[in-house]
Chain A
Amino acid sequence: MRRIVAAVLWIAFVVALTAVSPADCRMRPHEKVALLGGMDDPEVFVWDSRFRLAAYQTGTYDAAKALLPHALVIPPGTRAIVIACVPNFVHPRYRGFTDDAFGILMLNGKYRGRSGWVMGQDIRRMHFR
């Protein structure tokens, strides 16, 4: 009986661990990722602050445009490593979902060694040597 209860609790624990929503820091610090935007424009904005990242997504057209000097345009495929995650931090103005803010450190390209903040939808888990 004790073994059955232990098995049920273990299953519940595993389900609880895996049952996370997409916008719930699905990638953990130290995971290696590649930057990739949407299909229309695969380049990615990397922001110097997670608050500016959020303000760009939630702000008005003019407010968002005023923030551009604080962003880097990174070509798709640039490699990075996750260094932080703040769940459900970004609320895009025109989209009906929230997204995580990921802190990353870029591992190659023109801005190798620079860190910044991106939305969860702009990074993909990548297994590379």
Chain B
Amino acid sequence: MKQRDSSVKLRRVLPVGLVAALVVALWGAYEAHANVSATFDRQTQIQQAQVMLEEMVRYQIDEENSVRGYIATKDPFYTGQYAVAVGKMAASERDMRTALLAQGLTDVQGQLDDYVASQNDWRAHVAAPTIANPDRHTDDIDKRGKFYTDQESAISASVRTALADQNARLARDTLASINLWSLISVVGFASFGVISFWMANANAAARRELGRDKTTIETLQTVYLSQTIPLPYCEIGSAYAAASSAFAVGGDVYDMYRLSERNALIMIADVSGKGVDAAVLTAFIKFTIRSIALRRPEPGRILAEFNTAFAHAYAVDNPSLFVSMFVGVLDPEASYMQYASAGHDSAFIRRSNGVQQLAVTGPVLGVMEEPFETRTVQLADGDTIVLATDGLTEARDRDGELLHEQGAMALIERSSQDPQRLADELVAKVRSLGGNHMRDDLAILAVRVVGTRGEHA
């Protein structure tokens, strides 16, 4: 029992593990993908910064060449070219600063500041005095020119190295991160596979177990359901169909029992639970009702006594357990039936002029101590008593619509006169309504009165 409990707990936990493994796997895959995307973006920014740097160096050389051209030719075209290069270099500097800021390269930003300061000094102390007086050539201007060029060459080389290092570091970090997240993802998918395999095995075991249970229940039902016995002035038919799902099998019972030369007991009941326990309970119902009916062949008293016995035997320990039951005591020769119904509304009489539902005369059994009224109905030649369990009135079509009592009565009215064929047709109809799927057990007991002297009630 403990092993079965732990198996049930495991089957409840496994889906959670399965979902968790899938989440981890997808999370890892997403993070790996996000890392790659982020790295592409950052590498693009670094490459933009590298391009901007080369453009700045090119514009710096353009400025210097423009000044040299002006010294050599005195042509104002070169001062124009100089101004254009200054403007373009400023634009490249802005773009580069944006890229560096995005990368958080503060060291490189500091070097860029030195670069720009050096170029501004060059413009102020070399380019401007040279353009103002191209014929005046001094050692001081030469030295300053050399100095600024040295500075800018060194700084630009340093910035190139820093950007390349950043790019390499980014690739290295990203690779490590992708490896980690890929590993997490692989572990997640592997866990998903293992748990799936595990669940498949557990489900197969559960199906085998349920199959065994269903077989056991069906065997019990077959044993406990009564065989049709010959009654004078009566034709009898019965049918039983187990639910398609093993979870819904068990709990339906009917019985016919000869109480005396004249009287016969007919009974149908439906236990609220399902499974092996409910199937076993049907045996208790069947034989207890028989024993009471032999002593007191009055349906109301039979139900009242059974209610007391059932409450003491079962319902005290299980408040949610109850039974709906119809009990009839038939005197076919005198053409009448006494009956009582404990909350069992699937009881009908088909007469020549239509189908009549037999009234409920008390509450379901196992709930409260209540008297059950006994009623009498007269039977005419050809009348058929049709007793069913709730598998008939609660049958659903493929759209989920219930058949209800009216639908059941219409089915009964259209069915064959022969009681056995009637029972079989009702089962077949319910099965076809659900698309060859039985949602619940269904038991049918049909008794047709033939060759009597009675009159209709």
* A interface residues (Cβ-Cβ under 8 A, vs B): 38, 40-41, 43, 45, 61, 64-65, 68, 71-73, 92-96
Contacts and interface: CB of A to CB of B under 8 A. Distances in A.
Contacts of B200: none
B142 interface: yes
Contact of B153 (A40, A68, A73): A40
B153 A38 contact: yes
A90 B419 CA distance: 117
B155 interface: yes
Nearest to A40: B153
Contacts of A95: 154, 157-158
Nearest to B139: A73
Contacts of B121: 65
A40 B156 CA distance: 12
B153 A61 contact: no
Contacts of A38: 153
B81 interface: no
B143 A68 contact: yes
B153 A92 contact: no
Interface stretch (B5-13, B110-118, B307-315): B110-118
A72 B157 CA distance: 24
A16 B12 CA distance: 76
B356 interface: no
Closest 8 pairs (CB-CB, A-B): A94-B158, A94-B154, A41-B149, A73-B142, A68-B143, A40-B153, A73-B143, A73-B146
A45 B144 CA distance: 11
A34 B315 CA distance: 116
Interface of B: 61, 111, 114, 117-118, 121, 139, 142-147, 149-151, 153-155, 157-158, 161
Contacts of A64: 147, 151
15 contacts: A40-B61, A40-B149, A40-B153, A41-B146, A41-B153, A43-B146, A45-B146, A61-B114, A71-B143, A73-B143, A92-B154, A93-B154, A94-B157, A95-B154, A96-B161
Nearest to A60: B114
Contacts of B144: 68
A43 B210 CA distance: 96
A71 B147 CA distance: 10
Nearest to A69: B143
A95 B155 CA distance: 8
Nearest to A44: B146
A51 B114 CA distance: 23
Nearest to A110: B139
A58 B231 CA distance: 123
A73 B118 CA distance: 18
Given A94-B157, A95-B154, A95-B158, A65 B147 contact: yes
Contacts of A41: 145-146, 149-150, 153
A72 B155 CA distance: 22
B42 to A, nearest CB: 24
Given A40-B61, A92-B154, A61 B117 contact: yes
Nearest to A93: B154
A94 B146 contact: no
Given A61-B118, A73-B142, 15 more contacts: A40-B149, A41-B146, A41-B150, A41-B153, A43-B142, A43-B146, A45-B143, A61-B117, A64-B151, A68-B143, A73-B139, A73-B146, A94-B154, A94-B155, A94-B157
Contacts of B111: 94
A41 B156 CA distance: 14
Contacts of B142: 43, 73
A95 B121 CA distance: 22
Contacts of A92: 154
A40 B143 CA distance: 15
Contacts of A96: 161
Contacts of A71: 143
Contacts of A40: 61, 149, 153
Contacts of B118: 61
A49 to B, nearest CB: 16
